[in-house]
Amino acid sequence: MTYQELFTQISAKKTYLCVGLDTDIRKIPSHLLQEADPVFEFNKQIIDATADYCVSYKPNIAFYEAMGAKGWESLQKTLEYIPATHFTIADAKRGDIGNTSGLYARTFFDPTSSGLDFDSVTVAPYMGSDSVIPFLEYENKWVILLALTSNIGSSDFQRLQVEDSSLYEQVLKISQQWAGADRMMYVVGATQAPEFEKIRTIVPDHFLLVPGVGAQGGDLEEVSRFGMNSHCGLLVNASRSIIYAGNGIDFSQKARQEAFKIQQEMATYLDLYCK
């Protein structure tokens, strides 16, 4: 999916919601456990219920890997079920030396090898250029690079002062040599709202993938006010607050209501701040 196609979806549906599929078999409604593939069944119902109100899905790879080969099969079925209208993100936070990153790229972008064909993958920047570039060798695929994450530990290293700015700002600056806003996005946590203005001076055009709204406490209005650009430029993720909104037979209804609520709020912010 291209930058323009993504913006077209956002404009048409008036939402920049990404639904995080952090599907933990220990947390899904118990009536699903009798299904052949409970994780896929859960995801399928969540996707059916929320697709109208989001533009993206983000399976969190840890949750599938934790189940071994079986989890990998659930992931593949889930990815195939997501409509082509939705931007897909493998939230994997990979990054290794060049030849290994090449294999991770094959994992998420080459269906003839792994069965998976994501639009994008999240990548950790610590190992530098040659750990990121192999992902950019696949046409029309995106890298979403960690910049300033939503967790407490983000201050341990990401905010260390390096010359006249912090490490995460260096990541934003240096990585722009590897790809432009048409192939690269950045992860910036919703809990970091005060930083968004500064971030927009460094990467005015890029999409930012913003986790941390919902369970982690980030503020959607602030993120939108400080983070939005003329092409929206935001994919705001909510995972647990949507997918675990209910825990009974009607869990997908509850998820739909929660996604709808966020979409309504987003429609307002698009009118206000997307200019």
Q: Which residues bind a second copy (CB under 8 A)?
A: 22, 24, 60, 62-63, 65-73, 76, 91, 93-101, 103-104, 106-107, 110, 113-116, 124-132, 146, 149-158, 160-163, 167, 170-171, 174, 211, 216
Closer residue to a second copy in complex, CB, 96/265: 96
Closer residue to a second copy in complex, CB, 33/160: 160
Could you give the CA distance from residue 229 to residue 206 in angstroms, rounded to a whole number?
Answer: 9
Rounded to 5 degrees, φ, ψ at 17 are -80, 135
Could you give the CA distance from residue 197 to residue 174 in angstroms, rounded to a whole number?
Answer: 19
93 a catalytic residue: yes
Nearest distance in Å: CB 254, a second copy? 21
Nearest distance in Å: CB 77, a second copy? 11
Could you give the CA distance from residue 273 to residue 80 in angstroms, rounded to a whole number?
Answer: 34
Inter-residue contact 220 to 270 (CB < 8 Å): no
In the DSSP assignment, the letter for residue 274 is -
In the DSSP assignment, the letter for residue 117 is -
Nearest distance in Å: CB 266, a second copy? 23
Both tokens of 119, joined, read 């639009």
Could you give the CA distance from residue 187 to residue 20 in angstroms, rounded to a whole number?
Answer: 14
Closer residue to a second copy in complex, CB, 28/274: 28
Nearest distance in Å: CB 273, a second copy? 27
- List the catalytic residue out of 77, 93, 254, 261: 93
- Active-site residue list: 93
